[in-house]
Amino acid sequence: MNRDVAGIILAGGRSRRMGGGDKSLLALGGARLLDHVIARFAPQVGTLVLSANGDPGRFAGLSLPVRPDTVAGFAGPLAGVLAGLDWAAENTRCPYLVTAAGDTPFLPENLVERLMAATTGIRGSMAVASSGSRQHPTFALWPLDCRDDLRRFLVDEGNKRVSAFMDRRDCIEVDFPIEDISGVSFDPFFNINTPDDLAEAERLSQSMIA
């Protein structure tokens, strides 16, 4: 656990390819997608919050604070990041926030450790995870002192592109290896977008148990 880091799970997507609704609450391996994410992510951070819009009551069983977007309209993942930065600034003494997506049940259990290590000694720096030569912008370390800049980026400039904001901040890329389960290679940032993805995640989950 890193007590200097607050964590936020981004679960505010519209899940169109899954037919709408909260895909993070779909069943996987006898639990919900979100349960798997929490089990891997919560031990890595000092405090954890959930980013989601609408009725927070549907997440009541998780015992997590739920933070809606603070930017009007559906501004995508960056709105959730900003909500998390504001929440951490108001409720914690953590100088950093790490984000994780709510539909990634196999996220690395050393995510926070490696992102923090990449920025050690570099004040105010950001770090983003990558794997297989691809960045994963929803898995990143954000210094709290970037929140005013992010608010201007979203509200004043109307820019919603996570990668564009990261480019502006000279974000450090941290590569995570492709993993192996029983001879099957998979990306630890594999996320659930479609029913076929959910079926594949179920197969991977069963392989982990076997």
pLDDT over 90 percentage in the chain: 64
Residue 101 pLDDT grade (very low, low, confident, very high; cuts 50, 70, 90)? very high
Residue 13 is predicted with a pLDDT of 56
Give pLDDT tens digits for 186-209: 899 999 988 899 998 998 888 776
Rounded to whole angstroms, the Cα distance separating 138 from 179 reads: 19
Tokens of 99: 């984000």
Identify the CATH number of the domain defined by range 2-209: 3.90.550.10
Phi and psi, residue 127, nearest 5°: -140, 145
Residue 182 pLDDT > 80, yes or no? no
Decide which of 183 and 2 is more confident. 2
Residue 20 is predicted with a pLDDT of 56
Residue 93 is predicted with a pLDDT of 94
Question: ∠ CA(149), CA(174), CA(4), 5° rounding?
Answer: 60
Domain extent listing, the chain? 2-209
Residue 108 pLDDT > 50, yes or no? yes
Among 3-7, 58-62, 85-89, 132-136, name the one with the lowest average pLDDT: 58-62
Residue 102 is predicted with a pLDDT of 94
